[in-house]
């Protein structure tokens, strides 16, 4: 096969393990239109871009251009991964709408604080995916604080629980999992538990999720994703009340 066709077939195989083509482009730092040309076998990347792609997918450059059959054969667990993924995302689809959700985590040893992340949920038919961003501080006028948490993953539902299972695309790439249920109250709010990475290691914390219905901008939502005090007037009263009970 021509090298462009090899590249296209291998890229299509590699992105199957990720949330979406758009997510890959954002993380690699490649223009979506240009990346689509690679996927269609219309172009090949220059050395610098190829290196970024290989670093992102954790492969060497030879695997990027080799015959697809050889690349697939070198991945002896591909079929197992596909089976596991299909079992994970099988129906029922989680009862959660697309949109922006503020996700509040309790902070171990600090009952006066909450870690407020912003979670973007996306539905594509029965498949539900998410991105969750976390920052340590509000940032400044020069562009804001670095985001140590940038998780991508899938949302599944089992026995009335909704699971957010993701991988952090930054730092060490640690996994996280959140299990929540709709609270039995009149207000639509999700409550549950999560396993996340804290300073000393994995921590088991309380979680509260509430959808933003004000349709604030992406930039404003990201600016709100940082540590907040429980008595901060900007924290939703219901969230503060539930956090105190937890």
- What are the CA-CA distances from residue 225 to residues 12, 131, 221 (Å)? 33, 13, 7
User: Using one digit for the tens of pLDDT, what is the confidence trace for 15-63?
Assistant: 877 768 888 888 888 999 999 999 998 999 999 999 889 888 888 888 8
Whole-structure pTM value:
0.65
Report the distance separating Cα 180 and Cα 161, nearest Å. 6
At residue 138, does pLDDT exceed 50? yes
Contact between 76 and 193 (Cβ < 8 Å): no
> Whose CA is closest to 134, among 144, 121, 122?
144
DSSP codes, 85-152: HHHHTPSSPPS--SEEEEEEEEETTEEEEEEEEEEEEEEETTEEEEEEEE-SS---TTT----SEEEE
Q: Residue 33: what are its φ and ψ, rounded to 5°?
A: -60, -45
């Amino acid at each position: 096969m021509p090298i462009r066709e090899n590249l296209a077939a291998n890229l299509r195989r590699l992105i199957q393990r990720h949330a979406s083509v758009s997510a890959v482009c954002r993380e690699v730092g490649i223009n979506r239109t240009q990346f689509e040309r690679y996927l269609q076998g219309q172009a090949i990347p220059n050395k610098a871009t190829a290196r970024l792609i290989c670093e992102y997918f954790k492969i060497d450059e030879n695997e990027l251009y080799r015959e697809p059959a050889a690349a697939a054969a070198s991945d002896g667990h591909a079929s197992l991964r596909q089976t596991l993924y299909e079992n994970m995302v099988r129906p029922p689809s989680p009862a959660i709408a697309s949109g922006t959700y503020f996700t509040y985590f309790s902070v171990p040893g600090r009952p006066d604080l909450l870690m407020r992340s912003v979670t973007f949920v996306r539905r594509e038919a029965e498949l539900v995916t998410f991105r969750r961003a976390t920052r340590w501080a509000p940032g400044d006028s020069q562009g804001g604080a670095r985001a140590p948490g940038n998780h991508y993953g899938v949302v599944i539902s089992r026995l009335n629980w909704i699971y957010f299972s993701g991988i952090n695309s930054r730092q060490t790439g640690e996994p996280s999992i959140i299990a929540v249920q709709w609270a039995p109250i009149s207000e639509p709010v999700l409550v549950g538990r999560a396993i996340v990475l804290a300073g000393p290691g994995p921590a088991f914390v309380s979680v509260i999720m509430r959808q933003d219905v004000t349709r604030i901008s992406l930039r404003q939502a990201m600016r709100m994703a940082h540590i907040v005090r429980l008595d901060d007037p900007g924290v939703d009263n219901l969230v503060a009340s539930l956090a105190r009970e937890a």
